Amino acid sequence: MKFMATMISTDNPLLNLSDLPQFELFHVKHIEPAVDQLLLACRAEIDRLVSMQEAPTWQGFIEPLEVIDNRFERIWGPIGHLDAVKNSDEWHEAYVACLDKVTVYYTERGQNAGLYAKFKALSESAEFELYNLAQKKVIEQALRSFRLSGIALPKKKQVEFQTISQQLSQLNSQFSNHVLKSTQAWCKHITDESELAGLPESAMGTLKQLVEQKSLNGWCVTLDFPSYLAVMTYADNRTLREEVYRAFMTRASDQADNIEFDNSELMNEIRSLRHKKAVLLEFEQYAEYSLATKMAESTPQVLGFLRDLAAKSKPQAEQELASLKRFALKERSMTDVQPWDVSYLSEKLKDQTLSLSQEKLRVYFPIESALNGLFTITQRLFGVTIQAKEGVSTWHSDVRFYELLNENKEVIGQFYLDLYARENKRGGAWMDTVVTRWRSPDGTLQIPVAYLVCNFTPPVEGKTACLTHNELTTLFHEFGHGIHHLMTEMQHLDISGISGVPWDAVELPSQFMENFCWERESLDLIASHVETGETLPDALFESLKASQGFLSAMMMLRQVEFALSDFEMHAFYDEQNVEPIDQLLARIRNEVAVIQPPEYSRTMHSFSHIFSGGYAAGYFSYKWAEVLSADAFSLFEETGILNANTGAKFKNTILAAGGSVDPMVLFKAFRGREPNINALLRHSGIAT
């Protein structure tokens, strides 16, 4: 598009889109000029399209919009990505300043009556009837987005909607930054090694590495997840476990040691503004607004689904807790099992009953072996080859870059892989898009590119980094998101890859891939002892398989607790009588939980999924999609774990279609029927 080419300068490295992002050239000074130029060009092009006198057509209207949307993703995406993986106060300040402008732009666009009129005219035209299903879906989803952006509101209410959207965007970013800063603010410096008794060598190495980063001696326990989890799982020192638990569970709250990053008021503001936003659009509650773009159809359906899972899980969870308490009393003389004891006791009980621990498994999953196994499984299932590519610009020396090649050795996708935890990197694991598959107006096919980000324990003192089995499933999970993005066959931005996929279906491929971490046939391709190269011994595999149902009902209830708390928080908001979050959590826990946290616990204050990660009134999506993924995998159990024909069927239905087809239609096309909850319960070791 000549218009866009003349509006955008290429002097700024953020604006040079000829190839992948040149991260080493980016500087904080580039952010605001790049965003300002981008928004100027986008607005000018939208004005041009709206002012056209001729009737809208796909070529004359949709394609130019796709051009600016593609450019937007490729410029704004790296800015947000670097805020998450290479955070600094200076970069974050510039990012937040531009986030305000971006939010205004999207809100303006969603309320642009001229754009809406063009889409509506196109949907009612004779040409629309000639479009394929994918093209129709693009237009239908655009019209839905306009309605959810307040297009029908009077001008005064549109301004209010825009203001609320802008405020929410800022608050979400502030919430996330508070969690990161609060996590980084806490550190326990330990010089007496006996205080860390029970921690395995790998964990001690990590804590030693952390203290060296601060130019101190001894060891340093932080709230970064690898450090936190190591202490909670292995530390014999109960006082230390409680101290670290308290610090972790009070992050970004009024109970933290440093209350500078308290999210309490932000959470109240976010809840209030979400409710106002929903009411403006004539929804009774924000939960209804959330469900407008999901598979689940109603509040009663979601609550019924979650409470059904709780009812089926709670009796077994009570038995599991009783078993844990008996073990604690007999083996540890512990009469009062507390939340900071659960992971520790679980690991000890698992080792006693199954001769299994994460450390016993870790030596079988050196990172290179895990990656080779993952790539081999992907090749066998989906007929693609994955190979490393050198010389690509990255944001850190640990980051790797790979290409996906089809049977004809053509590159069909690429991805960055950022494996290890480090300072100034957001916790957790995620996939995000760099470039979306799209055919441009000149016929060029743009291949998709993804970011895959994890926070595993890094290599220590030159030793090979090895994954726990839990980390292995995380790797497969995020890679599942990746192949959903990379193996799409769609060519329109709004339905390509994960775009346009309902939130409660987007976890299907990711959770599906986790299943290969539990099967003998696939594990034989993954596991390779770090010293001997041997695969997982039969006894250890049998123990691992048995552990799939170990305390699984307690874990199920924990996720149901989060999902119910999130959903009820957004489904029954009364602005005249707001139920405080701590009271709401206590109510839900009394209903479904079998173990209660201490009064000081502030779980929601650091729950970025809900308050800054897009899962508001949607955390149930994990369990909803888990039903789909478990039932989808059951077809592999029937036909063969690495059956290429079944893999091709999964690729050609679930992965290829992106957001172009209703996910229930895709699931039934793959499975031959509607999903059944029993596969999930069976995989979880919960009696049906």
Residue 10 has pLDDT above 80, yes or no: no
pLDDT for res 6: 40
Distance between CA atoms of residues 247 and 339, nearest Å: 13
Pair of tokens at residue 477:
């999970």
> What angle is formed at CA 338 by the lines to CA 335 and CA 343, rounded to 5 degrees?
110
Mean pLDDT in the chain? 95
Residue 3 has pLDDT above 90, yes or no: no
* 8 found inside a domain: yes
Distance between CA atoms of residues 615 and 633, nearest Å: 25
> What angle is formed at CA 267 by the lines to CA 224 and CA 245, rounded to 5 degrees?
30
> What angle is formed at CA 455 by the lines to CA 450 and CA 457, rounded to 5 degrees?
135
Residue 128 shares a structural domain with residue 206: no
Specify whether the CB–CB gap between 455 and 226 falls below 8 A.
yes
Pair of tokens at residue 227:
């450090």
Helix (H) or strand (E) holding 629: helix 621-639
Residue 195 shares a structural domain with residue 140: no
Specify whether the CB–CB gap between 617 and 359 falls below 8 A.
no
Pairing of strands 187-190, 219-222: antiparallel
Among residues 148, 174, 207, the one where a domain terminates is 148
Specify whether the CB–CB gap between 504 and 296 falls below 8 A.
yes
Residue 46 shares a structural domain with residue 135: yes
Q: 355: helix, coil or strand?
A: coil
Among residues 246, 261, 276, the one where a domain terminates is 261
pLDDT for res 136: 97
CA distances from 264 to 179, 254, 562, 586, 603 (A): 12, 7, 18, 16, 11
Residue 130 shares a structural domain with residue 219: no
Residue 259 DSSP symbol: G
Mean local confidence (pLDDT), 104-130: 96
pLDDT for res 461: 82
pLDDT for res 268: 97
Residue 488 DSSP symbol: -
Residue 18 shares a structural domain with residue 128: yes
CA distances from 169 to 94, 172, 269 (A): 14, 5, 12
Residue 137 shares a structural domain with residue 223: no
Residue 132 shares a structural domain with residue 38: yes
338-357 residue pLDDT tens = 999 999 999 999 999 999 98
* 644 found inside a domain: no
Residue 144 shares a structural domain with residue 204: no
Residue 153 has pLDDT above 50, yes or no: yes
Instruction: Give percent of the chain above pLDDT 70.
Output: 98
Residue 198 shares a structural domain with residue 134: no
Listed residue (413, 369, 422, 363) closest to 387, CA to CA: 413
Q: 76: helix, coil or strand?
A: helix
Give the range with max mean pLDDT: 203-212, 357-366, 379-388, 420-429. Answer: 379-388
Residue 124 shares a structural domain with residue 191: no
* 546 found inside a domain: no
404-420 residue pLDDT tens = 999 999 999 999 999 99
Q: 451: helix, coil or strand?
A: strand
Mean local confidence (pLDDT), 590-607: 96
57-82 residue pLDDT tens = 999 999 999 999 999 999 999 999 99
Residue 132 shares a structural domain with residue 35: yes
Residue owning tokens 């090895």: 466
- 10 Å CB burial of residue 532 (0-12, 13-18, 19+) is exposed
261-282 residue pLDDT tens = 999 999 999 999 999 999 999 9
Domain of residue 118, CATH code:
1.20.1050.40
**Which is the catalytic residue, given 320, 347, 359, 478?**
478
* 252 found inside a domain: yes
* 521 found inside a domain: no
Residue 688's pLDDT band (cuts 50, 70, 90)? low
Mean local confidence (pLDDT), 533-559: 95
Residue 71 shares a structural domain with residue 120: yes
Q: Is 478 a catalytic residue?
A: yes
Which residue range is the domain that position 90 belongs to? 2-110+112-148
Distance between CA atoms of residues 612 and 264, nearest Å: 14
Mean local confidence (pLDDT), 530-542: 96
318-340 residue pLDDT tens = 999 999 999 999 999 999 999 99
Pair of tokens at residue 352:
């006693």
420, β-bridge pairs: 456
397-408 residue pLDDT tens = 999 999 999 999
